[in-house]
Amino acid sequence: PIWGRGEPEPNPATQGWNEVTKLFRAGVPLKKHRQHFRVYGNCFTATAAVDWLHDLLRSNSNFGPEVTRQQTVQLLKKFLKNHVIEDVKGRWGSEDLEDNGQLYRYVHFTLKTHGSGAIKQRDTENVDPEIQEDPANSPPVEVVHRRNLTEDDILDIWRNITLTHLQKTLGLTSLEDLLDPYQVNPQHIVYNMTNVNKHGVVTLEDKTGDLPHWVLSAMKCLANWPKYDLHQPSYPGFERDVFKTVSDYFVNLPKPLLTYEYYEVFVNVLGLLQPQLERVAIEALQLCTLLLPPANRRKLQLLMRMISRMSQNVDMPRLHDAIGTRTLMVHVFSRCVLCCEEEVDLDELLATRLVSFLMDHHQEILQVPVYLQNAVQDHIAYLRKVQLTYPGPGMGSTVPTYSFCRQISPQEFEEQKLSVSQAAIAELLESLIKDRTLSVKEKKKKLKQFQKEYPDIYSRRFSTTESEVQLFVEKPKIKPPMLIVFLWCLISHFRPLRLDV
């Protein structure tokens, strides 16, 4: 911030914030880091930033030694929220920073004069690795790119941010074992988020996938019992006939409402159904149900509303002679909500447990998560106004120099991916071999484990048994000859004679 003449100086809180951010940008060391077989320059890990900033705050007179590490993490989260820093992929605006090895970088701002005023512009480091540097070290040229996002770009953002939130909520390093991200239809997510009525229920433009009118009418009758349509017939056992109409429709659906593709995802959420993790489970199910086709989500919403009201309605007559209404609801509708394409053990038990939880928390689970909508909108707004700093042009040149990529075949991509990953693993083996901090026993143990995991790379490094044995041969200690020892003693004990001429 720059304060001109006549402008009031900032308050102490603002001064403290500016001081800390300035010291932070100037102090945290930037290094080259490897993550997921890719190298990022001029960045730092979250843990390194916490270490440095914690020491700074404890030694600062405005804060003091009582500052905790967790408080330091909270401040870094504010840095991320306010775009003082961003992750190496350019994401910011949330407060999900943790004390771990995730990579971040500074967001630098430079002041450029325009007319009589000063304009603050953003200079993002390493945004485009394809821009070639000019060896002449000429002054940087700032070029503002107003990126025009296509509809496909926006859909990709919706899918990526939704899956990222889901992955973090489930506490997983990857979702690859649960689903194929590219089979997730982002149009379903957008539709489920935006096309809803005042109750949060999905409204369908294409009515062919909606509930038949007679089923919807029967569900309304049961959900509002006994305040149903007076024009409908009333006779003993009428409510059982209506319930059978609804249950027959759902039980005979060709596929479960949660679909076969997402079976593993929903089963994984079941591990969170514990009292201390109830809020996490609700958030995870919020995100999972957004992936469903809109027609499935609508049916699920209406079904959960109906069976939840029925199970709590003290005026509802018994629909079964042996079991209560709630137990009946769970028993009848579990399989049409969740089941595996191939029958597995405990399949019915898993479905029963999930439906019971959905009944109790359907209002929260099936509402639109506003935080997700805000995260997507913030990211889209950021991408549309991103500014890039290019190296200065050469003599006489007025445009930056670019290098472009050529499209490669899927076979070339797989070959390059394999070669890069194997090179990284081979580099890991070399660092293990050269590690002098390990004892011989520890090094042998780690090398044996490496050989078991990567036998091909290990055999290329140690082509023969002798080369492997040579690594652990202890070098003999060479004893100096006795004559040299004797001469050394003489030199160290007697001063040289000085002759005066």
Length of the chain counted residue by residue? 501
Task: Convert the pLDDT of each residue in 143-187 to its tens digit.
Answer: 445 567 899 999 999 999 999 999 989 988 888 889 888 889 999
Task: Convert the pLDDT of each residue in 198-229 to its tens digit.
Answer: 889 999 998 899 999 999 999 999 998 887 65
The runs of H, that is alpha helices, within 60-173 are 69-81, 151-170
**Which residues on neighbouring strands pair with residue 106, listed in sequence order?**
85
Average pLDDT score, the chain: 78
Separation CA 132–CA 232 (nearest Å): 76
Q: Is the pTM of this model over 0.95?
A: no
Tokens of residue 97, six digits = 């920073």
Q: Is 320 helix (H, G, I), strand (E, B) or coil?
A: coil
The pLDDT of residue 146: 57
Q: 300 lies in a domain?
A: yes
Residues 363 and 438 reside in one and the same domain: no
Residues 158 and 37 reside in one and the same domain: no
Q: 48 lies in a domain?
A: yes
- pLDDT of residue 135 exceeding 60, the answer is no
Side chain identity, residue 454: Y
Residues 264 and 196 reside in one and the same domain: yes
Residues 88 and 184 reside in one and the same domain: no
Residues 303 and 191 reside in one and the same domain: yes
Side chain identity, residue 484: I
Residues 302 and 357 reside in one and the same domain: yes
Domain boundary among 49, 72, 107: 107
Q: 357 lies in a domain?
A: yes
Query: Cα angle at 130 between 126 and 424, to 5 degrees?
Result: 75
Other Cβ atoms less than 10 A from the Cβ of 498: the count is: 5
User: Which residues constitute the domain of residue 96?
Assistant: 12-107
Query: Given CA atoms 389, 390, 394, 396 in this order, what sign does their dihedral have?
Result: negative
Q: What is the CATH number of the domain that holds 24?
A: 1.10.10.10
The pLDDT of residue 252: 96
Tell me which residue of 286, 361, 382, 308 sits closest to 94, measured CA to CA.
Answer: 382
Task: Convert the pLDDT of each residue in 64-96 to its tens digit.
Answer: 788 889 889 988 988 888 888 888 888 887 768
Q: 336 lies in a domain?
A: yes
- Residue whose tokens read 């005026």: 315
Q: 103 lies in a domain?
A: yes
What is residue 393's DSSP assignment?
P
Cα 338 to the center of its chain, rounded Å: 26
Query: For 330-335, which contacts have Cβ atoms below 8 Å and span 24 or more sequence positions?
Result: 330/355, 330/356, 330/359, 332/247, 332/251, 333/247, 333/250, 333/251, 333/303, 333/307, 335/251, 335/256
Side chain identity, residue 490: L
DSSP 397-457: --S--B--PPP--HHHHHHHHHHHHHHHHHHHHHHHHH-TTS-HHHHHHHHHHHHHH-HHH
Contact 97, 48 (CB under 8 A): no
Contact 319, 239 (CB under 8 A): yes
Tokens of residue 60, six digits = 């600062």
Mean pLDDT, range 31-36, rounded to an integer = 81
Other Cβ atoms less than 10 A from the Cβ of 235: the count is: 7
Residues 98 and 194 reside in one and the same domain: no
Tokens of residue 467, six digits = 């080369």
Separation CA 330–CA 307 (nearest Å): 9
Tell me which residue of 67, 34, 35 sits closest to 51, measured CA to CA.
Answer: 67
Q: 385 lies in a domain?
A: no
Residues 203 and 59 reside in one and the same domain: no
Residues 332 and 461 reside in one and the same domain: no
**Which residues on neighbouring strands pair with residue 196, listed in sequence order?**
202
Which one has a higher pLDDT value, 498 or 258?
258
Tell me which residue of 265, 295, 246 sits closest to 181, measured CA to CA.
Answer: 265
Task: Convert the pLDDT of each residue in 356-372 to its tens digit.
Answer: 999 999 999 999 999 99
Q: Radius of gyration over alpha carbons of the chain, in Å?
A: 33
The runs of H, that is alpha helices, within 129-277 are 151-170, 186-194, 213-223, 238-251, 263-269
Asked, as a colleague might, if the bond just before 226 is cis with ω within 30 of 0, I would say: yes
Residues 103 and 161 reside in one and the same domain: no
Q: Is 309 helix (H, G, I), strand (E, B) or coil?
A: helix
> How many domains does the chain contain in total?
3
Residues 291 and 172 reside in one and the same domain: yes
Q: 112 lies in a domain?
A: no
Separation CA 378–CA 81 (nearest Å): 11
Q: What is the CATH number of the domain that holds 236?
A: 1.10.555.10
Q: 488 lies in a domain?
A: no
Residues 280 and 181 reside in one and the same domain: yes
Asked, as a colleague might, if the bond just before 455 is cis with ω within 30 of 0, I would say: no
